Amino acid sequence: MSNTTGRIRELSLYRQYFDLVAAGTKTIEVRVKYPHLADLAAGDTIRFRIKGTDETCEVNVKRVSEYPNFEALLDGEGPTNVNPNATRDEQLTNIRAIYPPDKEALGTLAIKIALPG
């Protein structure tokens, strides 16, 4: 696990989640296992961008874990690591509003992130 092979990925993020990442309080990013994320790995860097702005925040990927669905992901990672400001049920509702059932069926990724330094 060497940072010399780490890649930079650009991903969009909604403002409310961007602010939590930038503050260091959101340590698990949730994504669907799209093909372009299948090789995401520890040592990579994610540059989050708020869509339509130049605002970015870079984080280091510490770990990527796969789960069959969002419920298993929240149970496995702990909802407060995904969003410390929302309950588990609120998070499930919010995540499923972003990713409909056909996307969730692709599998889900819990990306452990940390601010550099």
Instruction: Could you please state the CATH topology (level 3) that the domain comprising 10-114 is classified under.
Output: 2.30.130
The residues spanned by each domain of the chain are 10-114
pLDDT of 51 reads: 85
CA R_g for the chain:
13
Q: Kindly report the pTM of this predicted structure.
A: 0.93
The DSSP letter of residue 83 is: -
pLDDT of 35 reads: 95
pLDDT, tens digit, for every residue of 46-100?
999 998 899 999 999 999 999 999 999 999 999 999 999 999 999 999 999 999 9
- Residue 112, pLDDT above cutoff 70: yes
Q: Do 41 and 64 touch, CB atoms closer than 8 A?
A: yes
Q: What percent of the chain has pLDDT over 90?
A: 91
